[in-house]
A and B are shown apart, each in its own frame.
Chain A
Amino acid sequence: MSKKMLTFMSKDKQQFTIEEEFAVQSVTIRNMVEEDCASSVIPLPNVHSETLTLVIEYLNKQASVAENDLKKFVDEKQISTLLDLAKAASYLDIKGLMDLACEKLADLIKDMTVEELREIFQIENDFTPEEEQALRAEFPWAFEV
């Protein structure tokens, strides 16, 4: 008996197949399967093929690999990749992947200075110098490190 396969199509029109039993870890996909909308190709216009490759790799690995090894999945990944993964995991509602990606991102963020964070997230500093000074003075110990 052949396993039921699903087909995803990424934003850049690449197709990926995955066994349904692994795919339904995504609650979004699971709902589609239950409502019988998953028979033909499932378009995922929010997800680029590079990210989708990783998502599918995760879904396939998740069943067989131990938790500690699964954590390595997010090692050595660039911040942009991790953010894409987190967004895809949010879109597809895959809690495990979301947790992994967000944890890694939080881990990277915590070591950054305020200036670096603003650069990475392209955030404009909308505090006046006085306001920023006051805020830093409120928790001087947080900036000692």
Chain B
Amino acid sequence: MVVGIREESSDSGSRDLMTQLVMMGCSFGGSRSRNTSPMARAIGSRNISPSRQKTVKTKPRGLDEEMIAKFPKTPHPDVRMEDDIWAMLPEDLLNEILARVPPFMIFRLRSVCKRWNSILQDNGFLKFHSQVPSHGPCLLTFCKNSQSQTPNCSVFSLPLKQWYRIPFTFLPQWAFWIVGSSGGLVCFSGLDGLTFRTLVCNPLTQKWRILPKMHNNQQRQLSMVVYRKQRSFKIIAANDLYGDKSLPTEVFDSNLGRWSLHQKMPAVNFCSSKMAFCDSRLYLETLSPLGLMMYQVDSGYWEHIPAKFPRSLLDGYLVAGTQKRLFLVGRVGLYSTLQSMRIWELDHSKPMWVEVTRMPPRFFRALLRLSAERFECFGQDNLILFTSWNQGKGLLYDVDKKQWSWIAGCGLRLHNSQVCFYEPRFDASIY
């Protein structure tokens, strides 16, 4: 099969516009001479049969032994190298293909050749890449046992079932807790001496920034929200962790570059650490009494949501879904034999918690061998993830598809790790 442009005399006398363009030697979308040596062209069509299933060492050119070319597990179909096909690969077609490569793979592709290296770093390309629909959710795990230890960070891509140990060497010693991740940014907090500090970074671009101090130097429960379209983010500091006095809510707005003070959360004795942000509202669970508080970021005011919590709820995790959806997840039932894990959704109009589903018993037993076993629960985009601390397993519930599934291929290293959903994006800006 030969595909290419050859000059040939046409039967019809008239040449329409398209033919003329073609004859001019440009394929649609710009022309670029390819990076080939004359020798490559001379080779012409080559037959690479799947029988070449052995590892091929690259010539030793002063590189490590690690550079071993391996053929992938599934044999490639016969690819006949027709010179012409590749010769006419237009730049924008290459861009279209590269833009759809998962973000982590992009780094490897940069070492193919100088042309690819320059395309893959170009801002225009990265922006284009960020506009292509996401490849699917990723998990970020962060493990740091003490101040002095270098953190162990990994990102697991759910669709690709692959771990990537992205370096977080830029993290200062004090960065101890993940606040959360949204829109490609990750926020860390920690105690720098006696000062409570926060940091925002984009792990993919390795750009990071320490945020200014808050007005009140207290260890607080933080929540981050990213406004992708406006290219800005906010961090909300609601309750303080050792909350005997209630402090004004502080909000950092990246547009202003500073923290601002807002209404104190109305007097409640204890707050859980369970928070969720959706639809420009921060929802927070209070323990004594058990209830729901809501903070409107735009107005800066707190409001109590009088939705009654389910009876015998042992733990209540708040998870934000898409748009305005808010979920409550937790175990119900005081006696271990009768326990079940349930998910409720808030009906904002009533307001009332409405049961959505229950975890099938076989999953519940597999996830939590003992009823008192700790688990974590968090979510994003109508996906709710359960992780079991001791077993290092991950169970995913897709609210839209109503499907339960184990996370395959990850052997979650969860012991002492903080985990959150993460969406790798090149265009997430820390400013």
Contacts and interface: CB of A to CB of B under 8 A. Distances in A.
Interface of A: 11, 28, 37, 43-46, 48, 50-51, 76, 78-80, 83-84, 86-87, 90-91, 98, 102-103, 105-107, 109-127, 129-130, 132-133, 135-136, 139, 141-145
A122 B40 contact: yes
Contacts of A48: 1-3
Nearest to A106: B100
Contact of A106 (B79, B92, B101, B116): B101
A70 B63 CA distance: 44
A121 B96 contact: no
Given A87-B3, A90-B96, A118-B113, 9 more contacts: A46-B28, A48-B3, A80-B80, A87-B90, A91-B27, A105-B100, A113-B69, A127-B111, A145-B164
Interface in B154-169: 160, 162, 164-167
B5 interface: yes
Given A50-B1, A102-B96, A124-B36, A117 B79 contact: no
B5 A45 contact: yes
Given A37-B16, A79-B79, A124-B36, A109 B86 contact: no
B366 interface: no
B101 A83 contact: no
Interface string B37-72: 100100000001000000010100111101101111
B114 A46 contact: no
Contacts of A135: 110-111, 117
Interface of B: 1-3, 5, 10, 16, 18-19, 22, 27-29, 34-37, 40, 48, 56, 58, 61-64, 66-67, 69-72, 76-83, 85-86, 88-90, 92-93, 96-102, 104-105, 107-117, 160, 162, 164-167
B35 A102 contact: no
B162 A145 contact: yes
Contacts of B117: 135
A102 B100 contact: yes
A141 B167 contact: yes
A130 B3 CA distance: 38
B105 A142 contact: yes
Given A103-B100, A115-B58, A142-B104, A126 B22 contact: no
Given A142-B105, A144-B165, A90 B90 contact: yes
A116 B71 CA distance: 8
A80 B82 contact: yes
Given A50-B1, A132-B63, A114 B27 contact: no
